[in-house]
């Protein structure tokens, strides 16, 4: 077993149930099945555990969606409806497909960045850079769709990006694998709603 990996996984779950501020290193050590003092053999702080748990998933999400959008925009006649639907589906699967995390990464990213958390300015900066890059990618797709005449010309690309990502990230509050709705069903519903408001009639 990889003790550092196990520790990060345990920390992510504790943050999800107790919240970042309320979670203690003792709580995390108990969840990982190690002594509290052993935590410092693997990481330097609670913040490091948070970042190590979140950043890989956030970076993967950003990069995968970015590649998809760039490929779509490089086509001679992009299918913007398919591209938006695929971008939403990719975002959802990157963040939620790992059932052991149950959307914790998206929940933490959304809420800690919007509040006065205990994270340092450097940590917030690293998270914001990824978040803004991701938002801009969706905005680029909307802007290109508007320019091509597929999406309504009165739309604001960045506002639409915020709205669709807000819908995706809110899923972290209630999504549980294996229950009423599959991840594909949820992604399709979000895309249906987004496209219903975006496509020209």
Does the pLDDT of residue 107 top 80, yes or no?
Answer: no
Q: Same structural domain for residues 97 and 126? A: yes
Domain that holds residue 20: 1-44
Taking residues 67-90, what's their average pLDDT?
97
- The per-residue pLDDT for 1 is 46
Task: Read off the pTM.
Answer: 0.80
- In the chain, what percentage of residues exceed pLDDT 90? 43
Kindly give the residue spans of alpha helices, DSSP state H, lying in 79-156.
Answer: 80-96, 104-113, 121-147
Q: Same structural domain for residues 129 and 152? A: yes
Q: Same structural domain for residues 35 and 15? A: yes
Point out the least confidently predicted range of 30-39, 61-70, 119-128, 158-167: 119-128
- State which of 44, 61, 76 marks the end of a domain: 44
Q: Same structural domain for residues 64 and 16? A: no
CATH of the domain at 175: 1.10.357.10
pLDDT, tens only, 179-189: 889 999 999 99
Q: Same structural domain for residues 179 and 133? A: yes
- The per-residue pLDDT for 104 is 60
* 16 vs 101 pLDDT, higher one: 16
- The per-residue pLDDT for 116 is 46
Q: Same structural domain for residues 118 and 89? A: yes
Q: Same structural domain for residues 14 and 94? A: no
Q: Same structural domain for residues 82 and 137? A: yes
Q: Same structural domain for residues 17 and 75? A: no
pLDDT, tens only, 142-197: 999 999 999 999 999 999 999 999 999 888 778 777 888 999 999 999 999 999 99
CATH of the domain at 18: 1.10.10.60
User: 123-131 long-range contacts, Cβ below 8 Å, gap at least 24?
Assistant: 123/47, 123/50, 123/51, 126/51, 126/55, 127/51, 127/54, 127/55, 127/58, 130/55, 130/58, 130/59, 130/62, 131/58
pLDDT, the chain, mean = 84
Q: Same structural domain for residues 38 and 62? A: no
Q: Same structural domain for residues 137 and 172? A: yes
Q: How many domains does the chain have?
A: 2
Taking residues 103-125, what's their average pLDDT?
62
Q: Same structural domain for residues 90 and 184? A: yes
């Amino acid at each position: 077993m990889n003790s550092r990996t196990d520790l990060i996984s345990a920390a992510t779950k504790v943050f999800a149930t107790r919240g970042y501020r309320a979670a203690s290193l003792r709580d995390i050590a108990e969840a990982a099945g190690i002594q509290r003092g052993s935590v410092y053999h693997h990481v330097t702080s609670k913040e490091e555990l948070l970042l190590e748990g979140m950043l890989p998933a956030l970076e993967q999400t950003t990069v995968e969606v970015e590649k998809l959008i760039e490929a779509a925009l490089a086509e001679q006649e992009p299918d913007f409806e398919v591209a938006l639907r695929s971008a939403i589906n990719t975002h959802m699967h990157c963040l939620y497909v790992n059932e052991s995390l149950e959307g914790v990464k998206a929940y933490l990213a959304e809420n800690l960045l919007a509040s006065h958390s205990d994270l340092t300015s450097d940590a917030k900066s690293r998270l914001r850079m990824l978040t803004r890059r991701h938002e801009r990618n969706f905005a680029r797709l909307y802007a290109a769709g508007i320019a091509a005449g597929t999406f309504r010309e009165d739309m604001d690309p960045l506002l639409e990006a915020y709205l669709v990502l807000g819908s995706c990230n809110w899923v972290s509050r209630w999504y549980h694998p294996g229950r009423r709705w599959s991840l594909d069903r949820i992604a399709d519903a979000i895309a249906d709603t987004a496209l219903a408001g975006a496509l020209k009639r």
